[in-house]
Amino acid sequence: MQTPAELEIAQGMPLPGCSVTEAQRYTRRLATHHYENFNVASWLLPRRLRQHFYNLYAYCRWADDLGDEVADPSRALELLDGWDQELRDCYAGHPSHPVFVALRQTILECDIPIEPFADLLVAFRQDQTVRRYPTWNGVLGYCHYSANPVGRLVLYLCGYRDSGRHQLSDATCTALQLANFWQDVGRDLDRGRIYIPLEALAAHGLTEDDIVARRFDERYVSLMKELIARTRELFEEGLPLAGRVDSALRVDIEMFSRGGLAVLDSIEAIGYNTLRHRPSIPKSKQLQLLARALCQRLFAQGSMATMVAAPGPGRPAIVSNASPLPGTGKATQGIPGEVARSYAECRRVARDAASNFYYAFFMLPQAKRDALCALYAFMRLVDDVSDTAGDAADKQRGLARWRAALDAAVAGNVSDHPILPAFADTMERFRIPPRYFHDLISGAEMDLTVGHYATFERLREYCYRVAGTVGLTCLQVFGFDDPHAPDLAEKLGIAFQLTNILRDVPKDYEMGRVYLPQEDLERFGIRAEELARGPLTPALRDLFAFEAGRAWGFYREGVELIPRVHPDARAALWALVRIYSSLLPRIESRGYDVFSGRVRLSTAEKTGILLRARLGWYSQHNVLEERDRDRRRPGGTLLGRRAG
Q: What are phi and psi of 574, to 5 degrees?
A: -55, -45
Q: What is the pLDDT of residue 41?
A: 45
Inter-helix orientation angle 163-183/247-269, to 10°: 30
Q: What is the C-alpha to C-alpha distance for residues 440 and 460, in angstroms, rounded to an integer?
A: 13
Tell me the sheet residues that pair with 514.
452
Q: What is the pLDDT of residue 606?
A: 81
Burial of 546 (0-12, 13-18, 19+ CB in 10 A): middle
Residues 371, 419: contact at Cβ < 8 Å? no
Kindly list the domain boundaries of the chain, sorted by start residue. Answer: 13-113, 130-297, 332-432, 450-644
Q: What is the pLDDT of residue 617?
A: 60
Q: What is the C-alpha to C-alpha distance for residues 558 and 490, in angstroms, rounded to an integer?
A: 8
Q: What is the pLDDT of residue 601?
A: 84
- Low pLDDT (below 50) residues in the chain: 5, 35-42, 296-325, 327-335, 628-644
Tell me the sheet residues that pair with 565.
480
Q: What is the pLDDT of residue 430?
A: 94
Which residues 6+ apart lie within 8 Å of 566 measured at CB? 478, 479, 480
Q: What is the pLDDT of residue 620?
A: 52
Is the preceding omega at residue 535 within 30 degrees of 0, hence cis? Answer: yes
CATH second-level architecture of 450-644? Orthogonal Bundle (1.10)
Q: Which amino acid is at 313?
A: P
Q: What is the C-alpha to C-alpha distance for residues 620 and 569, in angstroms, rounded to an integer?
A: 12
- How far is residue 66 from each of residues 9, 55, 83, 115, 218, measured CA to CA in Å? 10, 17, 9, 19, 38
- How far is residue 21 from each of residues 30, 63, 72, 99, 460, measured CA to CA in Å? 14, 22, 34, 11, 61
Which residues 6+ apart lie within 8 Å of 2 measured at CB? 79, 82
* 332-432 shares the fold of 130-297: yes
Q: What is the pLDDT of residue 336?
A: 64
Tell me the sheet residues that pair with 312.
315
pTM above 0.75, yes or no: no
CATH fold for domain 332-432: Farnesyl Diphosphate Synthase (1.10.600)
- How far is residue 388 from each of residues 9, 308, 536, measured CA to CA in Å? 60, 18, 29
Count of positions (residues) in the chain? 644
Q: What is the pLDDT of residue 317?
A: 28
Q: What is the pLDDT of residue 301?
A: 39
Q: Determine the Cα angle at 238 with ends 236 and 242, to 5°.
A: 110
CATH code reported for the domain at 130-297:
1.10.600.10
Residues 395, 383: contact at Cβ < 8 Å? no
Q: What is the pLDDT of residue 9?
A: 76
CATH second-level architecture of 13-113? Orthogonal Bundle (1.10)
